[in-house]
């Protein structure tokens, strides 16, 4: 949460910062600000609202070679200009991502020393602390501050007597940096560095990066030089732009066929059978260094994640249990460590995260390690904290996901679970070679079924118009559709602000049916053939109470037309592959409903893309 950027070099830093903040805005968009070295001092401009509002306030004559910028998602202190970053005290000006947990105690100590904060933020306390410790040596100061600060932080710090230099330190919250001929850049994620370089490094925790116009020096807290571990991205700027789409979310929905193919193709290999006549497709995890023994040495699996990533986990549970016959539980990461979980070395904990930064998921992973469990993460962002701290990583190759609502990351996460389930079912002898090969062919085919759904955009627009004035809505489904209903519901809620609930369809009559009245929309997922007749009965139940039913089903399913107002057909496929096309249909409904309601689809109120606080 919160976007951070710093630049020192041969360009106008104000321009670099404003562009960067635009690219990082999805990390938080309550308020924004920049601080730049100018006219022998440091000048700060802040604004409430989006980066566009800040841009309006920055005069053309604001020219500087070094500065820092921040876009905020409020934690401590409301949304106001005084609480916006950068914060300064004495010689120190800084921006921060994270939460200083002991800020109350620090504030008390600093007040005794005669200092008085002007904002309600933990960040200003950090600025006051660092200034109180500063006598000209930035390294000693930062080291002393680190000893006192508790919580998570990524800081970019300017000292007014060290022009054109930026110091950075982090614990927990992410920071990446690169040095180019144009100057040195630091940011909270790679998206903001891309216009300068594809090569970058992740600032290691508890290391100080000193950025000057020509280089970045990385040292540990003993001031020993450390060589940064360079990484590079395979995608370019255009991957993080809208490319003609009205919103990032729509672009990302349409990118799913590619994202899925990029994720599965490197893990599917063709083999010729012993009789040299038949070719087989087999899942292969050598590029991930995930050994088959990982699944043979365990007797239970726990999947833990947040939000949409957790919903991918619900689907993973169905697949893994069905194919491997190993018990799987799915836990919300924010609850996991407080419920005294049972884990040992025979437990495999799978964490799922697009960003690889989600604080609760990271904490769950750390607990799993402490308790001796084996860990595997499914992560989209290379080198992120969750990826680095897991025993094994399965990278999804969805590319950058900018819209707050997760779409292509979700279907890429599903793909990871399919590949893992197929590989380990095959390795354990639960699936024969020809069975797994058939499954993999069908997995390739989900791309075609998604393309079919995407062709129905006009129909989704029409359905969405019916939902413009809706206040409450229900998603129902059985089996895999019940897991998918949860995802449909969060997608709709977060971007349309319509209250919705996801229900296992058979559970309706145990309470929820009392909420079904004339005209209430119910999105009925009916893609699973083994429970289709039961699902039809549940549709009858809501229909009898006057519900407006939108049914998502396969082309070949026979359902009386009197049971729905709208029927969305997805291509007929084996049940276990239906969630892909159905998920895209749900994303399209959410997208067009939000757009029809005139809402900010990509940056819904109160939310942010990466949740790096608990
Ligand atoms: O980066 P992560 O996958 O760990 O994020 C988890 C959730 O915050 C995220 O999926 C969230 O629920 C999405 N905004 C939903 O669309």
What's the pLDDT tens digit per position in 89-110?
Answer: 999 999 999 999 999 999 988 8
Catalytic site residue from 210, 251, 317, 609: 609
Q: What is the 3-state secondary structure (H, E, C) of 244-291?
A: CCCCHHHHHHHCHHHHHHHHHHHHEEEEECCCCCCEEEEECCHHHCCC
Distance CA 425, CA 242 (A): 39
> Is residue 551 among the annotated active site residues?
no
In angstroms, rounded to a whole number, what is the distance separating the alpha carbons of residues 398 and 164? 37
The best mutation among 1, 303, 308 to test binding of ligand 1, ranked by most ligand atoms within 8 Å of the C-beta, falls on: 308
Average pLDDT over residues 494-516: 95
pLDDT at 277 over 90: no
Choosing from 2, 66, 156, 551, the catalytic residue is: 2
Between 85 and 240, the more confident residue is 85
**Ligand 1 atom having least distance to the Cα of 406:** 16
Query: What band does 296 get if pLDDT is binned at 50, 70 and 90?
Result: confident
Q: Which residues line ligand 1 (CB under 6 A)?
A: 306-309, 353-355, 358, 361, 404-406, 490, 494, 610-611
**Residue whose entry in the numeric block shows the structure tokens 């890429």:** 412
Q: How many angstroms does the Cα of residue 542 sit away from the middle of ligand 1?
A: 31
What mean pLDDT comes out for the span 489-506? 97
Q: Is the pLDDT of residue 276 over 80?
A: no
Distance 414 CA to ligand 1 centre (A): 14
Residue 511 backbone class (left: φ over 0; alpha: ψ -120 to 50; beta: rest): left
> Cα(99) to centroid of ligand 1, in Å?
19
> Given a cut of 90, is residue 111 above it in pLDDT?
no
**Residue 116 has what pLDDT?**
85
Structure confidence by residue, pLDDT tens digits, 53-84 = 999 999 998 999 999 999 998 888 899 999 99
pLDDT at position 315 is 98
Residue % of the chain over a pLDDT of 90: 88
Domains of the chain listed by start with CATH number: 3-233 (3.60.20.10), 251-453 (3.40.50.10490), 456-596 (3.40.50.10490)
Q: What is the pTM of this model?
A: 0.92
Q: Which of 173, 252, 406, 416 to mutate to test the pocket of ligand 1 (most atoms within 8 A of CB)?
A: 406
Whether the predicted pLDDT of 51 surpasses 80? yes
Mark whether 609 is an active-site residue. Answer: yes
* pLDDT tens per residue, range 301-342: 999 999 999 999 999 999 999 999 999 999 999 999 999 999
Indicate if the pLDDT at residue 237 is higher than 80: no
- Residue 275, pLDDT > 80, answer no
Number of H helices, E strands in the chain: 18, 26
């Amino acid at each position: 949460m919160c976007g951070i950027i710093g630049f020192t070099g041969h360009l106008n830093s104000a321009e670099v910062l404003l562009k960067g903040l635009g690219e990082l805005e999805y990390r938080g968009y309550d308020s924004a600000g920049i601080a730049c070295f100018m006219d022998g001092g440091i000048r700060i401009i802040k604004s409430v609202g989006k980066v566009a509002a800040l841009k309006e306030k920055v005069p053309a004559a604001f020219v500087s070679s070094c500065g820092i910028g921040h876009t905020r998602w409020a934690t401590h202190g409301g949304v106001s200009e005084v609480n916006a970053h950068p914060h300064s005290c004495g010689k120190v000006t800084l921006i921060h991502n994270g939460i200083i947990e002991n800020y109350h105690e620090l504030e008390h100590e600093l007040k005794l020393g005669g200092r008085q904060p002007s904002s309600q933020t933990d960040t200003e306390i950090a600025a006051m602390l660092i200034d109180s410790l500063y006598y000209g040596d930035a390294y000693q100061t930062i080291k002393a501050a680190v000893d006192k600060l508790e919580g998570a932080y990524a800081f970019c710090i300017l000292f007014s007597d060290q022009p054109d230099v930026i110091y950075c330190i982090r614990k927990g919250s992410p920071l990446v940096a690169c040095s180019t001929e144009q100057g040195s850049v630091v940011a909270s994620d790679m998206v903001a560095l891309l216009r300068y370089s594809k090569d970058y490094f992740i600032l290691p925790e508890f290391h100080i990066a000193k950025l000057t116009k020509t280089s970045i020096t990385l040292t540990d807290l003993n001031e020993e030089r450390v060589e940064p571990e360079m990484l590079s991205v395979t995608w370019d700027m255009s991957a993080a732009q809208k490319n003609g789409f009205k919103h990032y979310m729509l672009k990302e929905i349409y990118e799913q066929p590619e994202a899925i193919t990029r994720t599965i193709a490197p893990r599917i290999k063709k083999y010729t059978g012993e009789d040299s006549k038949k070719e087989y497709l087999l899942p292969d995890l050598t590029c991930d260094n995930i050994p088959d023994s990982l699944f043979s040495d365990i007797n239970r699996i726990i999947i833990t994640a947040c939000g949409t990533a957790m919903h991918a986990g619900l689907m993973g549970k169905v697949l893994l249990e069905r194919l491997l016959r190993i018990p799987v539980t799915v836990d919300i990461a924010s609850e996991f460590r407080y419920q005294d979980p049972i884990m040992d070395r025979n437990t495999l904990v799978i964490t799922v995260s697009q960003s690889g930064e989600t604080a609760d998921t990271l904490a769950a992973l750390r607990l799993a390690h402490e308790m001796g469990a084996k860990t595997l993460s499914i992560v989209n962002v290379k080198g992120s904290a969750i990826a680095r701290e897991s025993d094994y990583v399965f990278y999804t190759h969805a590319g950058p996901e900018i819209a707050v609502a997760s779409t292509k990351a979700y279907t890429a996460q599903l793909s990871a679970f399919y590949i893992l389930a197929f590989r380990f079912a095959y390795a354990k002898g639960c699936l024969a070679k020809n069975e797994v090969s058939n499954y993999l062919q069908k997995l390739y085919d989900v791309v075609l079924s998604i393309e079919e759904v995407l062709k129905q955009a006009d129909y989704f627009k029409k359905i969405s118009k019916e939902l413009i004035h809706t206040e409450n809505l229900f998603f129902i489904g059985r089996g895999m559709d019940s897991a998918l209903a949860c995802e449909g519901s969060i997608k709709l809620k977060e971007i349309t602000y319509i209250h919705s609930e996801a229900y296992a369809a058979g559970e309706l009559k145990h309470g929820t049916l009392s909420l079904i009245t004339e005209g209430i929309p119910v999105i009925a997922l009916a893609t699973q053939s083994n429970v289709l007749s039961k699902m039809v009965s549940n549709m009858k139940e809501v229909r009898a109470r006057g519900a407006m039913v939108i049914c998502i089903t396969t082309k070949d399913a026979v359902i009386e037309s009197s049971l729905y107002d709208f029927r969305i057909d997805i291509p007929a496929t084996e049940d276990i592959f239906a969630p892909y096309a159905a998920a895209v249909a749900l994303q399209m409904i959410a997208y067009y409903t939000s757009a029809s309601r005139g809402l900010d689809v990509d940056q819904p109120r109160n939310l942010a893309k990466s949740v790096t606080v608990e």
